[in-house]
Structure 1
Amino acid sequence: MKFSTMEAEAKSAHDPYSKRAAVWIPSPIIVGAGPSGLAAAACLKLRGIPSLILERETCIASLWQLKTYDRLKLHIPKRYCELPFMPFPPDFPTYPSRRQFVEYLESYAAAFGIRPAFGQAVASAARIGGHWRVRTAAGAEYACPWLVVATGENAEEVVPEIEGMAVFGGDVAHTSGYRSGEGYDGKRVLVVGCGNSGMEVALDLCNYNAKPSLVVRDKVHILPKEILGASTFGLSMWLVRLLPVCLVDRVLLAGSWLTIGNTDRLGIQRPKIGPIELKTKFGKTPVLDVGTLHKIKNGYIKVFPGIKRVRSDCVEFVDGRIEKFDAIILATGYKSNVPSWLKDNKMFSKKDGLPKCPFPNGWKGEHGLYAVGFTQRGLLGAAMDAKNIAKDIQKCCKRSFN
């Protein structure tokens, strides 16, 4: 790819890009070298279009490499987590480990000759003078005709404001900093959040002889990882092709009742809306149980409702119970950071940082702006986005040469 220096005219004298020399990139710039960014780069390359990936960290898939716990495995079968045009190795298990998934991504990048520019955190990007201007925190500046946002739904940790948290005398950590239960032996640990991460961290703590408790503030669907030996996720994907969503939800809930029983009596209430409908309408993913419910049923993990306030050595819950804890782990998830750096765009919501257009139409914006990995449908959705983006940019290239 040939780069050149250019002077881009700014629209305002107060514009931070005004009169700065920028490196001209005649191809797409992709922001983020996670699975979505890699997929976009590979799809573009197969169509003969090079790209430049800007990645803030020093490695690909930084969320997986730097911010996940050791015992993490894919919760759904590997065939639903493949990036475009390259399956997992046949000797990998059905549910690859964190390390195996990273190995797959590294092999994927090598196979398609993808070499991101690491340590290039994007500070801002804006449409100026008929092209995109991208500025990094280190002061580098680029201009390009197409911008692909691949920072994803999980770019920044969500840390809720909880009354009294500042005075708590024990350790407080987000799951992004949690690696294993080692060091928590015998400690009373409160895990805040009952999504897949919170449930699995609580289980991991049990395996290290800690005394975990789980905050379940909202209603949540918990489904077995497998039903009658088949992947619950795979079963749902097959059924939605044949049946209305309401009937698929009934099948999944019936299988859940038979396999794991009534979760209401454990302090975990189910939403009235079925799991697939809830995911489709509100993006709320059901939890796939990997053994945590068994520990809850047998008293190894306590369940509490929402937190009212935190004190120096204990936590008061909304139901009036007060319990002492040595540590708090926030399994409160992540969020998009796009509104903090992408300026004056109409594509992304300022509220949640996700595309305003719902799936499957959220991948394309205006004036060469694209999004990959914001579908709330995992790597399957990211693969669809990547293919659509590459096809669309190729059409733009052909029009420009005609």
Structure 2
Amino acid sequence: MTRSPDPVVIVGAGQSGLAAARAVRNAGLTPLVLEAGRQPTGSWPGYYDSLALFSPARFSAMPGLDFPGDPDHYPHRDEVADYLQRYAAGLDVEIRTGTQVQAVERDGRAFVARTADGQEVTAAAVVAASGSFSRPVRPELPGQESFTGKVVHVADYRDSKELAGLRVVVAGGGNSAVQVAYELTEVAQVDIASRRPLAFLPQRRDGHDVHHWLTSSGFDNLPAEWLIHSVHQTLVMDTGDYRAATESGRLRRREMFTGFDGETVIWPDGERERVDVVLLATGYLPNLEYLRPLGALTPDGLPLHQGGISSVLPGLVYLGLEFQRSFASNTLRGVSRDAAYVVGPLAAHVRDAPALAGL
């Protein structure tokens, strides 16, 4: 059966987009990656300066290219960006950087991607791999308009020196919240405010990194639904420093504050405390507004999908969604498994398209 001559357009050239490009190429189709940034590194260069992976290099590689350096070291943000550039260069696929997709529309059974610089690219199928860094969650709390301090999302945070000497509350409880809060304790007075208790998971156990146990036990492959509904604490990878910091009082975890009042935040017990900065480590949502013309999103802009395969439109799939199929779905070590999964039905759709169009 003759396949469509149009490429499979992949929106985004971060780890998800590059994993998709490899899977699409391996399926015998033509990938075309459209990346808004200047380099095929996704959002990695935009993260805070001290960011390091919580998985060691041996568990942070993508298929076809080992991560350089000591397999047991924890790669820095810039190492990951460099790795992705090398990975992209070795794929032998077309990647157009500086090309922001503004809208994807239907044209019969095909898709048309319209870009900010005026391009119109016809596609046999679309992989939405645009990530979430450009859509940080910024919750509004009662009285926030009266707050005289600053409310900043961690997406805009770079270095602890920016907040030296200040009273800071980090709102959120994930890995990034704890990593940033811990480094801020060197220069500022810091609390973590979270809705759920923190559960520290030792990074190393019995001589192995925790990712050895996650992969060998099969935890990585547990269905996302089980993970979402069964975890009632926020898991934090602990280097050995984070739990110690909370137990010593150096870093205090408190229940999420209930609102603002002028220069203060209001804690659940009614205490009002003057705070200079509230740093939101409240996560991100998928940035998918360019798919709005397809009717493929909820009113809140979330994808309608099952395991990354659109439940609305054949030929549209997603990669890099948190808990898309498993605990590891939006990580370097997990995204390629999801890519192989979603590209299967996508390839079948592309190969069937010419025959169906002639009916």
Q: TM-score range by the shorter chain?
A: 0.7 to 0.9
Residue in structure 1 matched with residue 12 of structure 2 by the alignment = 32
Higher Cα Rg: structure 1 or 2? 1
How many angstroms apart in 1 are the aligned matches of 2:228 and 2:147?
A: 35
Please state if 1:338 is matched with 2:288: yes
Asked whether the 8 Å contact 2:168–2:278 carries over to 1, the reply is yes
How many angstroms apart in 2 are the aligned matches of 1:171 and 1:31?
A: 34
TM-aligned CA distance change 1:25 to 1:202, over 3 Å: farther
Alignment of 1:246-325 (within 5 A): 277-279=226-228, 286-290=235-239, 291-325=241-275
TM-aligned CA distance change 1:204 to 1:56, over 3 Å: same
Deviates more, 1:128-137 or 1:24-33: 24-33
Residue in structure 1 matched with residue 31 of structure 2 by the alignment = 51
Q: Which amino acid aligns with 2:105?
A: A
Which secondary structure state, in structure 2, belongs to the residue aligned with residue 182 of structure 1?
helix
Please state if 1:198 is matched with 2:177: yes
Asked whether the 8 Å contact 2:257–2:267 carries over to 1, the reply is yes
How many angstroms apart in 2 are the aligned matches of 1:282 and 1:122?
A: 36
By how many angstroms is 1:203 displaced?
0.6
Which secondary structure state, in structure 1, belongs to the residue aligned with residue 160 of structure 2?
coil
Q: 2:209 aligns with which of 215, 231, 234?
A: 231
How many angstroms apart in 2 are the aligned matches of 1:111 and 1:199?
A: 35
Residue in structure 2 matched with residue 259 of structure 1 by the alignment = none
Which secondary structure state, in structure 2, belongs to the residue aligned with residue 62 of structure 1?
coil
How many angstroms apart in 2 are the aligned matches of 1:280 and 1:60?
A: 35
By how many angstroms is 1:214 displaced?
0.8
Asked whether the 8 Å contact 2:195–2:256 carries over to 1, the reply is yes
Q: 2:167 aligns with which of 185, 188, 193?
A: 188
Residue in structure 1 matched with residue 81 of structure 2 by the alignment = 102
How many angstroms apart in 2 are the aligned matches of 1:164 and 1:116?
A: 46
By how many angstroms is 1:334 displaced?
0.4
Asked whether the 8 Å contact 1:153–1:335 carries over to 2, the reply is yes
Q: 1:385 aligns with which of 305, 329, 338?
A: 338
Unaligned runs of 5+ in 2: none
Q: Among the aligned pairs, what percent are the same residue?
A: 28
Please state if 1:215 is matched with 2:193: yes
Alignment of 1:97-176 (within 5 A): 97-176=76-155
How many angstroms apart in 2 are the aligned matches of 1:238 and 1:206?
A: 35
Which secondary structure state, in structure 1, belongs to the residue aligned with residue 305 of structure 2?
coil
How many angstroms apart in 2 are the aligned matches of 1:356 and 1:29?
A: 18
TM-aligned CA distance change 1:297 to 1:281, over 3 Å: closer
Which secondary structure state, in structure 2, belongs to the residue aligned with residue 337 of structure 1?
coil
- The Cα offsets for residues 176-204 of structure 1, whole Å up to 9 and x where unpaired, read as 11112113222111111111111111011
How many angstroms apart in 1 are the aligned matches of 2:289 and 2:354?
A: 34
Q: 2:66 aligns with which of 50, 69, 87?
A: 87
By how many angstroms is 1:141 displaced?
1.9
Deviates more, 1:43-52 or 1:368-377: 43-52
Residue in structure 2 matched with residue 78 of structure 1 by the alignment = 57
Which secondary structure state, in structure 2, belongs to the residue aligned with residue 183 of structure 1?
helix
Residue in structure 2 matched with residue 370 of structure 1 by the alignment = 317
Deviates more, 1:85-94 or 1:137-146: 85-94
Which secondary structure state, in structure 2, belongs to the residue aligned with residue 36 of structure 1?
helix
Which secondary structure state, in structure 1, belongs to the residue aligned with residue 185 of structure 2?
helix
| Equivalences, count | 342
Residue in structure 1 matched with residue 277 of structure 2 by the alignment = 327
Q: State TM-score, norm by structure 2.
A: 0.83
Q: Which amino acid aligns with 1:227?
A: R
Q: Which amino acid aligns with 1:371?
A: Y
Q: 1:177 aligns with which of 156, 167, 179?
A: 156
Residue in structure 2 matched with residue 11 of structure 1 by the alignment = none
RMSD: 3.1
Asked whether the 8 Å contact 1:35–1:105 carries over to 2, the reply is yes
Residue in structure 1 matched with residue 22 of structure 2 by the alignment = 42
Q: State TM-score, norm by structure 1.
A: 0.75
By how many angstroms is 1:110 displaced?
1.1
TM-aligned CA distance change 1:110 to 1:162, over 3 Å: same
By how many angstroms is 1:156 displaced?
0.9
How many angstroms apart in 2 are the aligned matches of 1:276 and 1:223?
A: 21
Asked whether the 8 Å contact 1:146–1:368 carries over to 2, the reply is yes
Which secondary structure state, in structure 1, belongs to the residue aligned with residue 213 of structure 2?
helix
